[in-house]
Amino acid sequence: MIAVIQRVTSSSVRIDGDIKGETGLGVVVLLGIEGTDNEEDITWLSRKIVNLRIFNDEQGVMNKSLLDEGGDILLISQFTLHASTKKGNRPSYINAARPEVAIPLYEKFIQQLETDLGKEIQTGEFGADMKVSLVNDGPVTIIMDTKNKK
């Protein structure tokens, strides 16, 4: 799994013009799922995200987590994170998981984030044409890959 985590002051996702999810202070997580990803990846990545100390403390040092701040999560599935651009100009998405594999993992990831965060998260819709808006705070953007756990 690859996740792009962006610290935000607000975010939203629209599908067909309607707001599907929106947040205040928190993070937007763009999630790419590979066919080899599993529940161990879900557990590891979820815990890393909710405990990631990327929010400022009273001294202005990034020392607080989503849990500390009571922040929100907007999760967006994004298979294009697994684009291969080695050959030619058209990206290949061969490493991205097929929907029959990715959808159950995406749904388990939602459940794990909600468990670890202790509240409901906001999401887009798997496979939909989504319009994501956010106010990146900082900007702070972190990229995590479960293939690089160690």
| Enzyme catalytic residues | 78-80
Tokens 């106010």 correspond to 135
Q: 95 by DSSP, 3-state: which?
A: coil
**CA-closest candidate to residue 28, choices 2, 4, 54:** 4
Question: Is beta strand 26-32 parallel, antiparallel or unpaired with respect to 72-77?
Answer: parallel
The full length of the chain comes to 150
Q: 26 by DSSP, 3-state: which?
A: strand
**CA-closest candidate to residue 14, choices 103, 74, 93, 80:** 74
Tokens of 43: 């557990």
Q: Is the peptide bond before 104 cis (omega within 30 degrees of 0)?
A: no
DSSP letter at 146 equals G
